[in-house]
Amino acid sequence: MQTASGKIIINYLRFLGISDDPASFLSVDEMKFITNSLTHNEERISDKRDEWGNWEHQFTKHNFSIPYLDQMVLRKAKECGILRKAVWPCNAPFAFCLTHDLDVISDYDPKQLSRRYERMLAGANGLKKIQPFIFYCYSILKSFIVNKKEDPLWYFERWCDAEKSLGFSSTFYVFVAEDKLHIYDCDLRIDDYLIFRGERITLEQFIQKLNADGFEIGLHGSYLTFDNAEQFIKQKKMLELIIGKAITTTRQHFLHYDINSTPQVHNEAGILTDSTLGFNTTVGFRAGTCFPYFLNDNILEVPQIIMDGALFNSNSLAYNEAEAKQKIKDTIDLVEETGGCLVVNYHPNYINREIWWNSYTYLLDELKKRNAWCTSMNNIYKIARKICVE
């Protein structure tokens, strides 16, 4: 089992707490299935992509709504009487990582509105430019009317305090790109300002405060960095200068990712963990697992499983609050049953949408009740290096 395929299987089983020889309880076809799933072979050889250039759930032939790979392996191990070892600290039943993509920091800032208009205009032709122009005029007028009031998005401390009150800490994936941007990219810049704990500060200062308060900082690489190492590294260095230490974790903006090129970009940039490989429009298990797994010798994928937009957006599941809470509970049940790692992604700019916030606090309470281990991407990587074979 010293082949590349064998290494993938052994490392995956180690994270499940299984150290037995894979061939002792798995067939050749089952081992091939594990390898194909964890290398994303289905999307690697397909040219199907959605409107954002992404591989999405509608393209797979597998039941992404369950961790089908984990369930298969654990069922086979149980049938053969194979016992699992504890993987997570303090014998926690499962682990979880709370994450936030920092895409928007203001509803009313004229500079950010202007950048948004420029992006909209860049994607329009002829008469289609009229609608963005009307939007721009309306937004700018509104910004001057309400600019002296409190921006509805300036409640970032609510996210931090809700987590800290339960002993949790999250990862903020921060967008810092300033050039070579795409129409799907963000409007914020590091010198834009916001109010945090009653103090007017720049985004750069906000990031520094989060870092000082023990929150993990990762890079939210801009849309076009998925296959552009030069731009990705430039953004990574910018963020490293802000917080004064190495950035080791990332999630691509819009989940824009190509399995054939993005891992190489991350590897070249010195990234250790990625959390991009989930879905934009549904909740689920893209590779059939809720456990971390190595995409190559260096990059550990810690897959996103629940994202807020997938729960609520009209082009996604479009749940109401009760439906969202039920889906969250059902998904936690699946992760707990396998003992995996639940990665949750909530965008802070949805703080003013009540069902978004209510579903998040429900999720936090549910995780606390189940005694799961809250951890960072960096700690997940440390465990991976400890238990997996080189």
Mean pLDDT of 357-371: 98
Look at residue 154 in the predicted model and tell me its pLDDT.
Answer: 93
Predicted TM-score (pTM) of the model is 0.95
Look at residue 109 in the predicted model and tell me its pLDDT.
Answer: 84
Split at pLDDT 50, 70, 90, the class of 5 is: confident
Look at residue 201 in the predicted model and tell me its pLDDT.
Answer: 96
Mean pLDDT of 215-220: 98
Look at residue 113 in the predicted model and tell me its pLDDT.
Answer: 79
Split at pLDDT 50, 70, 90, the class of 271 is: very high
Pairing status of strand 300-301 against strand 293-294: antiparallel
Q: Is the pLDDT of residue 367 over 70?
A: yes
Q: Is the pLDDT of residue 357 over 60?
A: yes
Q: What are φ and ψ of residue 182, in 5° steps?
A: -105, 160
d(CA 257, CA 263): 9
∠ CA 58-61-65, rounded to 5°: 70
Instruction: Tell whether the torsion through CA atoms of 217, 222, 225 and 230 is positive or negative.
Output: negative
| Residues 274-333: tens digit of each pLDDT | 999 999 999 999 999 999 999 998 999 999 999 999 999 999 999 999 999 999 999 999
Split at pLDDT 50, 70, 90, the class of 148 is: low
Residues in CB range of 251: below 8 A, 6 or more apart: 99, 101, 173, 218, 219, 220, 221, 274, 275, 276, 304, 345
Mean pLDDT of 370-385: 97
Mean pLDDT of 61-71: 98
Query: Distances from the Cα of 283 to the Cαs of 59, 294, 322, 345, in angstroms?
Result: 15, 22, 16, 11
Mean pLDDT of 251-263: 98
Q: Is the pLDDT of residue 145 over 80?
A: no
∠ CA 71-263-332, rounded to 5°: 30
What is the chain's mean pLDDT, rounded? 93
The DSSP code for 165 is T
Mean pLDDT of 116-131: 70
Look at residue 180 in the predicted model and tell me its pLDDT.
Answer: 86
Look at residue 110 in the predicted model and tell me its pLDDT.
Answer: 81
Look at residue 141 in the predicted model and tell me its pLDDT.
Answer: 73
Q: Is the pLDDT of residue 118 over 60?
A: yes
Look at residue 390 in the predicted model and tell me its pLDDT.
Answer: 61
| Residues 75-117: tens digit of each pLDDT | 999 999 999 999 999 999 999 999 999 999 998 888 887 887 7
Q: Is the pLDDT of residue 122 over 90?
A: no
d(CA 282, CA 304): 11
Q: Percentage of the chain surpassing pLDDT 70?
A: 93
